[in-house]
Structures are given as C-alpha cells and as structure tokens.
Structure 1
Amino acid sequence: MGIKVVANNKKAYHDYFIDETIEAGMVLQGTEVKSLRASACNLRDSYCRIRNGEIFVENMHISPYDFGNRENHEPLRSRKLLLHAEEIRKLAKKVDEKGYALIPTRVYFKDGRAKLEIGVARGKKLYDKRETLKRKQDAREMERAMRKKGY
C-alpha cells in the first residue's frame, strides 16, 4: 500500500535541530481517522509528553469530521502513542537532558495505519535560524545559476 503523508511540521525544522526520528502508532477514534484521511491535521505548536511510562501527543489539531454526528471527537485532545516500553525509557532519558524535546514532525498512513514521526529535537538560537535560512538561499541561488548555464 505504501505511505501517504497527511501533514508535515515544517516549523519544527525551522525552530529545532532534529537529531533522531522515531515512528509511533496512535490511538485514535473513528472520526479522527476519517479526518486524517481527508488531510485535516495541523502539527504546528504540537509536542509530546511522557506521563506515567506512557507517551502522549499534545496540541495536535485534527479537525472534526464533516459528516460526523454528535459523537465527533475533540480537535485538540491528548492522544496516546504506541511505543515499546524500552523505546519510551530511551526517549525519557534523552528528554531529561538539558535542551531536548519531543516534537512531532509528520503524520502519515503506512499500510493503512496512522503513524506519527517524532523527532528528538534541540532548540535553535536566532543566529542558527538565520544561518540555516542563508544556507538554503545560497543553495537555491546556485541551483538557479546552474540551470541558467544549462548544466
């Protein structure tokens, strides 16, 4: 079946250095899955939190299903993620280090199941953000010049 990307968190790559990514399953209600299939998801300002040996994603907005009834889901509710206990312990150790956070980077369907990619991230300083933007702009200009020359 392959992979169908539902949402990307471009802001995460702008605000953080993503050191490592991990794939996790999500515990969802039926109307949430239908909304995800319609690409009605926003990862901006979302983050993951570890509580009582379980990991949850907070502030991930999944819009209510258009054709749902009164049993429709809450858009910003906490959603439990499915990871092995050993993986959660490793992530907890990394998050306890100074400056690290768990940030969702993308939501996608893999073989019909909803997955969330979590990045172990360090915050960027303002000068790091400027450097990254400058590097991207330089690469874009070089690509444009190469295309213009016919390479």
Structure 2
Amino acid sequence: MELTVYLAGEIHSSWRDELKEKAKALRLPLQFVGPMENHDRSDSIGEEILGEQPNKIFRDEAASAINNFRTELLMKKSDVVIALFGEEYKQWNTAMDASTAITLQKPLILIRPEKLHHPLKELTNKANVTVTSIEQALKTLSYVFESE
C-alpha cells in the first residue's frame, strides 16, 4: 500500500525536502503532493492563464482561484494531509489548508511548535494528530504500516 500525502504549509523554507528525505530513509511508501512551491509562479499563474489583470487585487484574485483549484484537486486525491506551522512565516495558507482537510474529512497531522498551542488550539482539537516535529509526523505515518 502506498499513501499520497498532501504537504500543506509555507513554501519559503525547505521543510518539505527534509520530510521527504527522512521518509525515504525510513523507506515509507509515500507519494507527496502540495501547493506550488515556486512563489513567483504561484503569484503570476492567474495572469499566465487569464491574461493581464487591471490591478494587483484582480491579479491576486485570479491567482487565488487557480491555486485554490490546484489545492482542492490534489487534497481530494490525497490519503492524508500534513500541515506544518513553522515559527518564521505567517501561516494563513496553512490554516486554510488544514481547515480544508478537516472539511474534506481527510486525516490531518498538524505539526506545530508548542509555543503556537494557544493560537492553534481549535485546529489542534480538530486534527487527528498534533505533533511538534517532522520526525513525530513520520513516526505516526510509519505506525500505519506496522503489522505487529
């Protein structure tokens, strides 16, 4: 059995690469999907497809529609969602993706530092599992494949 994992979270750090490398080292049968990690492409995709927009608000709206389409499609095809809340970047997209996973009834592993417990308490309560590290998230997935 192979699981498809949607990796939700900020796209500015290399946390996805770290998670993928550690999953590979553990020989976990996982396939990964997620948001567009090229920030410039993500911001410009609306105009690339729909043409030049009259202002920045319309540009953002056009890109958001296409990025939301991508997220919904890939998340629906996923078996599980891992949403990482880091300490450095604003996390609005991560919160939206975690909420979408809950709405779609996708199993959700929330990774968040302990210091973010209070602002994320409602999401933590709705997630299937909440952990504080990538290693703990992978141990959770590894347990799925154990037979004894």
Normalized against structure 2, the TM-score is what? 0.21
Normalized against structure 1, the TM-score is what? 0.21
The one of the two structures with greater contact order (alpha-carbon pairs below 8 A, sep at least 6) is 1
- Which structure is higher in helix share? 2
Structure showing greater Rg: 1
- Which structure is higher in strand share? 1
